Amino acid sequence: MSGDSKRQTTLTQSAASKHLGRKQVVLIVLCIGQMMVIIDNTVVNVALPTIQRELHFSSAGLSWVVDAYLITFGGFLLLAGRLGDLLGRKRVLLAGLVLFTAASLVCGVSSSAGLLVAGRFIQGVGAAAVSATCLGLIATLFPAPAERGRAMSTYSFVAISGGSIGLLLGGVVVEAFSWHWIFFINLPIGIGAFIACWILVEEHVGLGIGEGADVIGAFLITFSPMLAVYGLVTVSQHGWSSSITIGSLAGAVALTVLFIALQSRLRHPLIRLALFHNRNLALADVIRGLFGVGVFGIFFLGVLYFQEVRGYSAVVTGLAYLPFTLTSSSTALFVTARLMHRIGAKRTMLVGLTFFTIGLVVWTQIPARGSYVGMILPALLVGGLGGGLTSAPNITIGMTDVDTDDAGIASGLVSVALQMGGAIGIAVLATLSTTKAQTLMAKGVPTHVALTAGFRLAYVVTAGCMIVALALALALAIRSGRGRPLDREGSMATAD
C-alpha cells in the first residue's frame, strides 16, 4: 500500500471514529431527556399516599395522578412522532422539553387535586414530544441492526435507572421537604437537557407541514382512553350498571371506532393502518401494551401496598424497590444486547417475558404481614431480570423493517402502546383492588388484610395479561425459527 493510501485510510478511520463518538454523545443527551420523563413518573409513584392524604383523593381517584400523565403521553405520542417527521425532530424535541418543564412548575405549585391533574395532563403532552422524538432520532442515528440494538439497550438502561433514581429521590424529597418538590426537581434537568439538545443534536429536515398532521385523530385517541379511565375509576362510586359507567365505556369504544374510520379515509392520517401489515410492529405493540400493565401495576400497587399495608415510609419504599430497578438496569446494560446478538431479539424478549411473568405470579401471593426477604424480594429480583430483558428487544422488534420516513410514527406506536396499556391497566387494577378491599372491610375484615386481598386480585389480573403477552411472544419466536437464516454475526437477519 502506498503512503498516500495509508494516509487516506488513517484519515477515513479517524473521521469514522469522530462520527461514532459524536453519535454516542448525542445518544447520552437524548437519554438524559428521556430520563427526566421517567424520573417524573416514578417520583410521583412513591409520593402517591402523601398526595392522597393532602389533596383528599379517593382510593380509585388517586389513579388520575398517574393516568392523567399516561393518557396524554400516550395519546399525543402519535402526533408528536408525526410532527417530528414533518417539522424536524429537533424542533419538536426542544418544544417538548419546554412544555414538560413548564408543566412541572404548575404541578409543583398545585394546592388542589384539580390543578395537579391538569398539570399532569400538560406534562404528558410534553413527555410525548420528548419520548417520540428521542426514539425516532436514535433509530435514524443508528441504522445498523447491531448498533441499534446496543443503542436501545443503553436507552432502556437509562430509562430503568431513572426509575431507580426517581423512587429514592422521591422518598427523600417527600420526607425532607414536601411532595411539591418532586416536580420542582424537573426544572434544572429540563433546562440542562434543552441547552444540551440545542447545541449537540443535529437538525433533521422534515417532510414539510404540507404533508399533513392529523390533529383531530390525536384528540380522538386521547379522549377515548380518558373516557374509559373515568368510567373505570368511578365504578366504586356509581356501580358497573350505572348510566355513567356504561356511557363512559361506550363513549370510549365509539371514539376508538371513529378514530379507526378516520385513519382509513384521511389523505394524511395520524397512523397509516397499512403499517400494521408489519407483523413485527403489530404484535410488538400489543405485547408492549400488556407489558405496560405489568410494569405500571408493579409500581402503582406496590407503593400503596408497602406504605398502607406494611407501613413503610417513602424512603424505605424507594429502598424496597431497589432490587427490582437495579436488576432491570444492570440486565439491560450488560446482558440484553449480548443475548440479542446471540439468540435474536424475539427469543430474548421471550426469555424476558417468562421471568417477568414468574415475578408477577409470585406477587399474587404477597402477605399482609411477613418477611420482605422471603416473599417480596424474590418477586422483585425475578421480575427485574425479566423487565431488563424485555424492553430493548421489544422496541427493536417494533422498529424492524420500518422506513426512515415512518420512524417517528413507528417509535410513537411502540411507546403509545406502553403508556395506554399502563393507563387503562392502572384504572382497572385500582378499581378491582379498591372494590375488593371495600367489600371485605364492610364484612369486618381487618383493613390490612382487606387491602392485601385487593392487591392480590389486581396482581392476578396483571399476571394474566403477561401470560397473554408471553403467548404472543412465543408465536413470534416460533415463526422466526422457521427457516430464517442467521447472519454472519450470529444474530437473526432482522429482528430475529
Residue 116: per-residue pLDDT = 92
Higher pLDDT, 303 or 219: 303
Percent of the chain clearing pLDDT 70 (strictly above):
85
CB atoms within 10 A of CB 59: 20
Residue 101: per-residue pLDDT = 93
Looking at residue 116, its amino acid is L
Cβ-contact 266, 393 below 8 angstroms? no
Residue 492: per-residue pLDDT = 38
CA–CA gap between residue 37 and residue 133 (Å, rounded): 13
Residue 363: per-residue pLDDT = 92
- 167 closest CA partner among 384, 336, 365: 384
pLDDT at position 486 over 60: no
Cβ-contact 156, 27 below 8 angstroms? no
Q: Which triple of cell numbers denotes residue 85? A: 417527521
pLDDT at position 385 over 90: yes
Q: Which triple of cell numbers denotes residue 291? A: 407489558
| Domains defined for the chain, CATH in brackets | 23-480 (1.20.1250.20)
Residue 405: per-residue pLDDT = 63
* pLDDT tens digits, one per residue of 207-262: 566 555 677 877 787 788 888 887 887 776 667 778 888 888 898 899 889 988 88
Residue 215: per-residue pLDDT = 74
Alpha-carbon dihedral of residues 321, 64, 50, 329, nearest 10 degrees?
A: 20
CA–CA gap between residue 442 and residue 237 (Å, rounded): 15
Concatenating the DSSP letter of every residue in 200-261 gives: HSPP-----GGG---HHHHHHHHHHHHHHHHHHHTHHHH-TTSHHHHHHHHHHHHHHHHHHH
CA–CA gap between residue 301 and residue 445 (Å, rounded): 20
Residue 120: per-residue pLDDT = 93
Residue 468: per-residue pLDDT = 95
CA–CA gap between residue 218 and residue 401 (Å, rounded): 25
Integer angstrom CA distances of residue 294 from 3, 216, 390: 60, 30, 12
pLDDT at position 263 over 50: yes
- Identify the bridge partners of residue 492 per DSSP, sorted by sequence position: 486
Residue 464: per-residue pLDDT = 94
Least confident stretch, 112-116, 151-155, 204-208, 372-376? 204-208
CA–CA gap between residue 391 and residue 411 (Å, rounded): 13
CA–CA gap between residue 74 and residue 325 (Å, rounded): 23
Cβ-contact 377, 319 below 8 angstroms? no
Q: Which triple of cell numbers denotes residue 219? A: 384528540
pLDDT at position 495 over 60: no
* pLDDT tens digits, one per residue of 427-471: 889 889 988 998 999 899 998 999 999 999 999 999 999 999 999
Q: Which of 53-57, 150-154, 411-415 holds the top average pLDDT?
A: 53-57
- 69 closest CA partner among 191, 260, 239, 225: 225
Residue 9: per-residue pLDDT = 45
Q: How confident is the model at residue 56 (pLDDT cuts 50, 70, 90)?
A: confident
Residue 20: per-residue pLDDT = 52
pLDDT at position 482 over 60: no
Cβ-contact 283, 476 below 8 angstroms? yes
Least confident stretch, 137-146, 345-354, 393-402, 470-479? 137-146
Higher pLDDT, 213 or 198: 198
Task: Supply the pTM of this predicted model.
Answer: 0.77
Q: Which of 196-205, 231-240, 286-295 holds the top average pLDDT?
A: 286-295
Residue 206: per-residue pLDDT = 59
What is the rounded average pLDDT of the residues 470-486?
70
Residue 59: per-residue pLDDT = 67
Dihedral sign computed on CA atoms, order 373, 379, 380, 385: positive
Scored b (16 or more CB within 10 A) or e, 186-217 reads: beebbeebbebbeeebeebebeeeeeebbeeb
Percent of the chain clearing pLDDT 90 (strictly above):
20
Concatenating the DSSP letter of every residue in 398-464 gives: HHTT--GGGHHHHHHHHHHHHHHHHHHHHHHHHHHHHHHHHHHHHTT--HHHHHHHHHHHHHHHHHH
What is the rounded average pLDDT of the residues 26-35?
80
What is the rounded average pLDDT of the residues 339-367?
91
Q: Mean pLDDT, the chain, as a whole number?
A: 81
Higher pLDDT, 61 or 123: 123
* pLDDT tens digits, one per residue of 390-440: 988 888 888 777 666 666 567 667 777 888 888 888 888 988 998 899 899
CA–CA gap between residue 225 and residue 253 (Å, rounded): 9
Q: Phi and psi dihedrals of 490, rounded to 5?
A: 95, 0
Residue 457: per-residue pLDDT = 94
